[in-house]
Structure 1
C-alpha cells in the first residue's frame, strides 16, 4: 500500500465479534473500518480541572454505509445479528509509517517491542500463538534472519496437518480486501523434514474461520538450516470480522521438530514488498460504540453511520454496587443466597440470587415456636455485630433451646424450595451468620441441618450435614454419608459462641481431596474426612432448627437467636475466599489501602480489562460504604481519599495513580515553546488563564466513617479574594490524614494559579517533531509550556500536568491535538535528608558501644536525633560495612562533640575512626550526602 511519510498509518478498528466484554478493551478480533471513515473524527479524554471527576472518554466517527453493512436491521449485512451497543472500538497509529501492519515484536521475532527472551505465554502482548507447543518462546539465535531473536516452537511427532506451529494473535482486517503475508522459517532439528506453508485466515463474527494457504514448502532440518521465505496472498471474505497470519503444517509431522520464524510482514496488496521493521503502534483511543445512528442523503443513495463511542468509564458508571458482603458472595457465583432480610410478617424468605423459590416457614409436630422477620442487627457486646451489610435479620425464639427433647418450633424449610442438600455433594461450600442467645446447650442447638430419609429409632442413620452449637458453646459440623459413617468437626477458630454476639460460619466439603473446610470468624482450617462420608441422597434441608419430616416434622435441639446470610457455592473455598468473605461481612474491608480498595471495586463492578494500579499513599481506609453507588462514583471516592488521579488510558487500561505520582514528577517530560534550538516542541496556539475557579481559603474535610470535620483556613487569602469554601469527604481511617488533607488543599488553592486553558498542536503540519510526541502523550504527564512575549518582556514559564487530550482527524489529511492542563504545585516540598556523621573512635569487632562525632546539628541532644530501635550503617561504602540497631543513646548537652551509642548486638566488623555512620539509604543511593544541598531548612519551603 502507498505510504505517506508525513502521516501515520491510522487504523480504526471495530469488534463485531465482541459484546461489552466486561468493559475490557480486547487485544484482537477486530475488523478494519479505516477506508469507510469520512469527514472528522473527534476524540476527547480527560477532565477540565484537576479536582473534577474524570469523564468518559468519547469518540465521534462517521463511516460510510452505502451498502448497508453497518445497519443492524439489514438481514443481508455481513455482520447481521452481531451489531449491538457497547462493542469495542479502537484507534491506533503507527509511527513512523510502514507497509508492515504487524507489531514490532511480531515482525522481528521479539527483537523489538520490549519483550524478554523466554516463554511467550508468560508475556502478555507478544501476540504470537502456537497450536503445537504451549511452551513456545522468544529465543536467542546467532543465526536469526535479522537481529538476534526468533520465535521458536516444538512440533511433536504426529502433529496433524492443519496445525499451526506459530501464528499471530488476531489482526484487524478489512472485509473483501487483499493482503499479502511473508514469513521466514527454518527447521533446526537435524535429520528431519517438515512440510509447511504460510497462511492467512479470516473469521466471521460468529467465529467461523476460512484459511488461505500459500505454496507448501519442505523444510530440511539442520542446526544451521537456511531461512526459507514463505509467502501467501489472499482476499478476505465479505463477512470478515478479524484475521490472522502464520505458519501451518501441510502434512503430519513424522518426528519431533523445532521450528523457528523471523522476519514477518503483513501488508495490503497482492505483492510481497521488501521486509521492513514496522513503526511503533501507538494507542489513540479504546472504547465502545454506544450508538449507531444512520442517515441517508442524496435521495437515499448515500448512507452513513455517525457512531458515538464511550470508554470503560461509561460502562462502570452504569453498574450500581451492592454492599461489600453481597458483592463478595455474588463474585463467587452462589447457588443460592437467603439474606433473611425479608419484611416483618413474612411467611417465607426469598432467594436473592433468584434461582430458587421462596423458602417457606414450617411448624413442628409439637406446635409452633417463634420466628420473626424484620429485626435489627444487635449484639450483647459493643463491636459484636457485623457491618458488611445493612438490613434486618430473622429472630428465632424456639423453646427448650439446646435440649435433647421434643419442643415446639418454627423454622425455614429449604427443601420445600427445591434445595435438598448441596447441588453437588462432592464439592460445596455453605455459609451462615448467627447470634445465639439461648443458654449453653445441654446437648446442642442446631442452626442448619440436612438429611436423607434413612432413620433408626427416629434418628438419622444415613447422609446428614448438621451445624450446631455444642455443649461447650463451640460450633461444630456433623457429617455422614449414606452408610451412616459419622464424623464430627469443630470449626477452625472455635470459641464459645453462646455470647449473644454475631459469628460467621463457612464450611465446605471436597470429596476429591477427602477434606472438610471449617471456618469460624475468618479462621481457616481443614480436616481429613474418611471414606464414605460424601452426603449423597439428601432429601431435607432446614434453617433455624433440627426437624425430621419423616416423622411429621419432629423437632429436637431447638435454636434461639438470630440468623442471616445463608448461602451455598458449588466450589470449595480456599483461605483467600474465606478471608475475603469474612472481612466483607465483619467490617466492609476497613483497613484497605487505597489501591487495594480501587482494585476491589473494579472486581465488584465486573471489570475484566487491563488495569494499572499504583500503590496508594493512603494505607488505611474506612469501611467500603458502596451500597447504592455506581462503580465510578465509588472509584472516584477512593481517588478523592488518595488525592490521586484515575482515567482510562489511550489503550483502554483503567489507570489509578497515587498522590505521590505528581509529588514526585519534578521534571517535565516535554517542553512546548518557540525555541526548537532549546529542544522545545512547537505549538500553534496557547491560551493561559489566571482564574478563581479552584480558589479556596476555607477547606473542610469530612471523615466518611465518623462525619467528623477537619478544617484549614487562611485569613490573608480570605481578605484578598473573599471567603471561598471547598468541601470534600474522604474515607481515611486516620484523623491525622484528614487534617493533613485539609492543610494540603488549602496550601494548593489559597492563591490563584496560571492555568493552561489550551495548547493546540498541529502534528500533520510538523510531522517529524510532533507525531511521536502527540501519540506518546498521556493524561497526567508533566509538561512545561513556554510563552515568549516580544522583548524586553521576560519569558513566561508554566509548569503543569495534562488533564485533557482532544484529537481531531479529518479525511483531508489534517490532525490537531488540544491539551488542557492544570498547574503543578506552586510551593516545593520540604525534604528530610539522611542523618550522617563519622566514627570518633576505631571500634573493634564484637563491641556493643560506639562513639560518634556530632553531625550538622550539635545544638539538639543526640537522643533527639537518634532513638532506640533505629538502624545505622557503619562504614558506609567500605569492605566492613554493616548495619546495627540502637539500644540507647548517651546523654549530651548543647554544643556536644561526641556521643556514645549502645547497640542491641555486638558489631561483627572492625571499623576505623572517620568511617561514615548514617541511616540506611534507599536502593541505588551510595552517598549519605546525596540530599544535603536541598534539604536545608533555609533553602526549601514547605507546602504548609
Structure 2
C-alpha cells in the first residue's frame, strides 16, 4: 500500500450489519467505503459557548454509488435490506501512517497500546484481540523470548478443538470489498509434549452473516516446547464484493489432539502483498455517528449515482427519547411483564397495563355484592410529609372493602381480576420472577390478615381452596410478607420482622423467587429477607389458575375473605429475581424521586432510562446530593443537560462515540494547556492559519438568578460595579442541588465568572494537511481540552489567551485537504484554592527554651503565617499530654518561624507541626484529599 508520509491512513467505515443498538458504536464488522468518497467530508460537534447546551454531532459523507450498492431499493445489491437509517459510521485516522492496519496492541502482542498484562478485555474499547478456543478469552503475558518487545498474546487451545476454530483473531479493521489483503503472524506452541497444526486465516462475511471469502495459508505444525522458536505464517486473499466485515488471525488447520497454549506476536494486516512487519501508528477517532438518512442523486442522464448519508451522534438519538417519571422509568428498565399503575381515571371498569404487554384487568365483585374501588385518589398518608411517595404523580386506587384484615366470609367485596386478563400467577413460578406492589393500609394491625394479592389453583378441602398458592399480605402482627405453596400443599409463611406496615403510610412490597439459589425473598421498602425453599413449596407451571388483587378470592366459587382496604398502586411483575441493588433503586425512585444521588449517578441513570447501551465515560460529580429527579416528560438530552447545569460541568459525545460527562473540577484542575498555538515553532508552538478572537458580551452577566429545581427558591448574586459599567445583564440557571448553600455558591460563581466581558475565539483554523506536525495535535483535541493561543502584534507585548475547546469542525476532501476549525471559550483568569489544614514537620530539632522553629516546606504550608497565629507541636500526643504544646507565632521568614515565647519541651526533627484544629481528635491530613484545585492552601 502506497503511503503519503505527510497524511494519515484514513478509514471511512460503515456498518450495514448493525442497527443503532441502543446508541452503541460497535468496534467490529465494518465496510470500508473510503474508495467511494467524493468531494468534501464534514463532521462537527460541540457547543457555541460554555454556558450553552451541547448540540448533537453531525456529519456529511458524499459517496459514489454508480453500482447502486448503496441504494436501499436495490434488491440485488450486496447490502440488500441493510441500507438503513441509524447504522453506525465511523472515520478514524492512523498517525504516523503505516501499512499495518491493526491497532498497536494487536500488532505488538501487547507491548504498545496501553494494555495491562493478564486477561484480555473484550470490551468495545479494549484491544479487540479475540479467540474462539480459549474459554477465558486469552491473556497478554510477559516473555523474555518474544519475537519483538517483551509481551506476547497467549491463547489456550483445548483438546478436541475443531479444525477452522480461531485461536486468535480480530474483526476490527473495516474491509474494502474487492481489495487484496495479506495477513502475517509469528506463532509458537509453548506446551511441551504437544503438537498442533495452525495456519494464517482470512475470512470475510456477508451482511447476512454468511461466509463471503474464506482463505487459509500454508499449514504449520507447531511442536510444543517451553523454548519453542517462532514460526512465520501468512495468507493473501481478496475480499469478496459482498463482504461486510472481516476476521483475520490464526486458525487451527486440524483438530487439536491435546490441550496446548499458542502464543502470537508480530501481527500485521495490510492491503496488497506482504511487506516487512512494522509497528502501526495510533488510530485516532475523528467521528463515530449514525446514518440519519441516505439522500441520493443521479446525474449525467441518470448514469452517475451518488449518495450523501448524513450522520448524527448518540445525542440525537437520546433527544428522541421522552423520559417517564423516575418510578415508571426505573420499572421499565427491568423489562416488566406487566405494570398496572392503578392511576386510571375515576369510574374505570378496568385497569390498564402501561407496559403494553397484557390485557386490561377488569374490576370484579364477589357473590356477596360490590364495595366499589375508587380510582383517581390523590396520594396521601397518615404522615403527609414522610409517609407518602413522590416518584410518580399519581393518582392511586382506593379499595373500600368492608371488614378489612378479618377472616370473615359473606361480606361484599370488589377486587381486580387478573384471571380475566389471562394472568394466573407468574408466567413460570419455578423460574426467576418478582412481584411488586405499593400499598397504604390505614386500619391498624389486622385481626387476621389483609391479603393484597393472591394467586391459587382450584383444588379444595372442605370447600376451601387448599392447593398451590402465592399470597402477598399483611399479617396479624402488621408485617408485610408472603405465603407460598406447591401443588403438594407444602406451604411456607414468609413474614420477616421488617416493621409494622399497618400505619396508614405508603410502603413498597416485594416478593421474588430465585431458582439459582433455591430461595424466595420478601422485601419491604429498602429492606429484604430471604428463605430457602424446596420444590414442593413453589407452584409449578400451570398449577395456578386464578389471580386477583384486593382480597383472598375464590373466583370459581366467587367468595372472598381477608379483605384489603386502603390504597394501592404499581402492581408489577418482573421476569427476574431483582437484586438488592435493583430493589433499592426501585424504592428510592418510588419514595423520594431519587433525591440525594450525585450528579454522575443521576447522569448514568438518565442514560439507562433512555435505553442507551453504548460506551460512556462519566467523571465523579462534585455535587454529591441532587434534589428530586424532575425529568418526567423531558427528552433525555434535556434531562442530562439539567444534570450538567447543576454540576457546572460539561457533556458531549467524543470522536469515538463515547458519551462523556465532565465534572466542574475537570476545568478548574486543568491549570496548564495541553497545546500552545502560535508562530514560534522553536518554542513548541503549533501554527494556525486564522484566529478570530471576539471580546464577547454574549455571556456578560451581573444579575445571576439560580432557581433550586426542587423548591423553586431563587438565589441571587449581583455585582454593582458591573451593573454600573454594563447595565443590568441577567443570567438565569436552574440548579437541582439539594443543598441551598450550593445553589447560592453556583450563583456567586457565575457572577464572578461573567461579571466582566471575556475574550473568546470564534475561529481558530488549523491546517494539518499543510502542516503535518499538526496531525497528532488535531487528532488528539477534544471538547474541554485546555489550549493557549498566542498573538504577537508588531511593536506590542505578546497576547496570551487561555482557552478551552468548545467546538470542533472537521473538513476533509478527496484531494488530500484537511482542516480543523476550533471554537473556544476563556479559561478562568483566577486560580482556585481550598481551605485546608496547615501542617508540616520540623526540618531541624528544636530544644526547650528555643524561640524559633525551622519547618519543612510543602504544599500544606505554602502561605506565610500571620502574627499571633497558634500552632500545635506534636499534636498526635493529644491535648493535655506532656510533650505537646501550643505556641504563638511572632513572625515567619521563609522556613523559619519566630515564636512569641520559648518552647517548654524539646522536639526532634520530623515532629509534627499543625495549626490548631477544630476537634482534638482530628488529624490535619483528613482534609488533604480535598486540597486538589491548585498548589495553594489558605490559612486564616
| TM-score, normalised via structure 2 length | 0.92
Write out per-residue CA displacement over residues 462-521 of structure 1, whole angstroms, 9 at most, x where no aligned residue.
11111222222222212111121121111462x222221101101112344332211111
Evaluate the alpha carbon distance shift between residue 256 and residue 472 of structure 1 in structure 2; reply closer, same or farther with a 3 A threshold: closer
Q: Distance in 2 between matches of 1:930 and 1:365?
A: 72
The corresponding residue for 1:286 is 288
Evaluate the alpha carbon distance shift between residue 383 and residue 887 of structure 1 in structure 2; reply closer, same or farther with a 3 A threshold: farther
The corresponding residue for 2:633 is 628
Q: Distance in 2 between matches of 1:383 and 1:225?
A: 72
Q: Does 1:131 align with 2:132?
A: yes
Write out per-residue CA displacement over residues 119-148 of structure 1, whole angstroms, 9 at most, x where no aligned residue.
113775111111111231111121111111
Write out per-residue CA displacement over residues 892-935 of structure 1, whole angstroms, 9 at most, x where no aligned residue.
8896857999xxxxxxxx96377232486879999x99999955
1:693 alignment partner, one of 667, 691, 698: 698
Q: Distance in 1 between matches of 2:746 and 2:477?
A: 50
Q: Distance in 2 between matches of 1:925 and 1:447?
A: 54
The corresponding residue for 1:19 is 19
The corresponding residue for 2:268 is 265
Give matches, 1:64-143, under 5 Å: 64-121=64-121, 125-135=126-136, 136-143=138-145
Q: CA deviation at 1:192?
A: 2.7
Give matches, 1:820-831, under 5 Å: 820-831=823-834
Q: Does 1:516 align with 2:520?
A: yes
Mapped contact 1:890–1:899 kept (Cα < 8 A): no
Q: CA deviation at 1:372?
A: 1.4
- Higher deviation after alignment, 106-115 or 222-231: 222-231
The corresponding residue for 1:224 is 227
Q: Distance in 2 between matches of 1:778 and 1:637?
A: 22
Q: How many residues align?
A: 904
Mapped contact 2:668–2:933 kept (Cα < 8 A): no
Q: Distance in 1 between matches of 2:320 and 2:877?
A: 56
Give matches, 1:6-85, under 5 Å: 6-85=6-85
Q: Distance in 2 between matches of 1:933 and 1:311?
A: 39
Q: Distance in 1 between matches of 2:888 and 2:925?
A: 31
Q: Distance in 2 between matches of 1:934 and 1:572?
A: 52
Q: CA deviation at 1:529?
A: 2.4
Write out per-residue CA displacement over residues 70-93 of structure 1, whole angstroms, 9 at most, x where no aligned residue.
000001111010111000000000
Evaluate the alpha carbon distance shift between residue 478 and residue 153 of structure 1 in structure 2; reply closer, same or farther with a 3 A threshold: same
Alignment gaps of 5+ in structure 1: 845-850, 867-871, 875-882, 902-909, 939-944
Q: Distance in 2 between matches of 1:35 and 1:929?
A: 53
Q: What is the RMSD of the two structures over their aligned residues, measured on CA atoms?
A: 2.8
Q: Distance in 1 between matches of 2:932 and 2:513?
A: 59
Q: Does 1:470 align with 2:470?
A: no
1:377 alignment partner, one of 364, 376, 379: 379
Task: Name the SS for the 2:309 alignment partner.
Answer: strand
Give matches, 1:351-430, under 5 Å: 351-381=353-383, 382-406=385-409, 407-426=411-430, 427-430=432-435
Task: Name the SS for the 2:89 alignment partner.
Answer: strand
Evaluate the alpha carbon distance shift between residue 934 and residue 338 of structure 1 in structure 2; reply closer, same or farther with a 3 A threshold: closer
The corresponding residue for 1:942 is none
Mapped contact 2:457–2:469 kept (Cα < 8 A): yes
- Higher deviation after alignment, 735-744 or 438-447: 438-447
Give matches, 1:775-814, under 5 Å: 775-790=779-794, 792-814=795-817
The corresponding residue for 1:667 is 672
Q: CA deviation at 1:816?
A: 0.6
Evaluate the alpha carbon distance shift between residue 496 and residue 922 of structure 1 in structure 2; reply closer, same or farther with a 3 A threshold: closer
Mapped contact 2:865–2:939 kept (Cα < 8 A): no
Give matches, 1:106-505, under 5 Å: 106-121=106-121, 125-135=126-136, 136-210=138-212, 211-269=214-272, 271-381=273-383, 382-406=385-409, 407-426=411-430, 427-491=432-496, 493=498, 495-505=499-509
Mapped contact 2:669–2:933 kept (Cα < 8 A): no
Q: CA deviation at 1:635?
A: 0.4
Task: Name the SS for the 1:550 alignment partner.
Answer: coil
The corresponding residue for 1:591 is 596
Evaluate the alpha carbon distance shift between residue 924 and residue 439 of structure 1 in structure 2; reply closer, same or farther with a 3 A threshold: closer
Evaluate the alpha carbon distance shift between residue 302 and residue 916 of structure 1 in structure 2; reply closer, same or farther with a 3 A threshold: same
Q: Distance in 1 between matches of 2:338 and 2:903?
A: 68
The corresponding residue for 1:542 is 548
Alignment gaps of 5+ in structure 2: 856-860, 891-898, 916-922
Evaluate the alpha carbon distance shift between residue 741 and residue 925 of structure 1 in structure 2; reply closer, same or farther with a 3 A threshold: closer
Write out per-residue CA displacement over residues 237-279 of structure 1, whole angstroms, 9 at most, x where no aligned residue.
121111010111111111222211111111111x111111111
Evaluate the alpha carbon distance shift between residue 443 and residue 714 of structure 1 in structure 2; reply closer, same or farther with a 3 A threshold: same
Mapped contact 1:858–1:897 kept (Cα < 8 A): no
Q: Distance in 2 between matches of 1:923 and 1:29?
A: 51
Mapped contact 1:492–1:524 kept (Cα < 8 A): no
- Higher deviation after alignment, 830-839 or 18-27: 830-839
Evaluate the alpha carbon distance shift between residue 369 and residue 148 of structure 1 in structure 2; reply closer, same or farther with a 3 A threshold: same
Mapped contact 2:202–2:247 kept (Cα < 8 A): yes
Mapped contact 2:266–2:277 kept (Cα < 8 A): yes
Evaluate the alpha carbon distance shift between residue 394 and residue 887 of structure 1 in structure 2; reply closer, same or farther with a 3 A threshold: farther
Mapped contact 2:833–2:931 kept (Cα < 8 A): no
The corresponding residue for 1:506 is 510
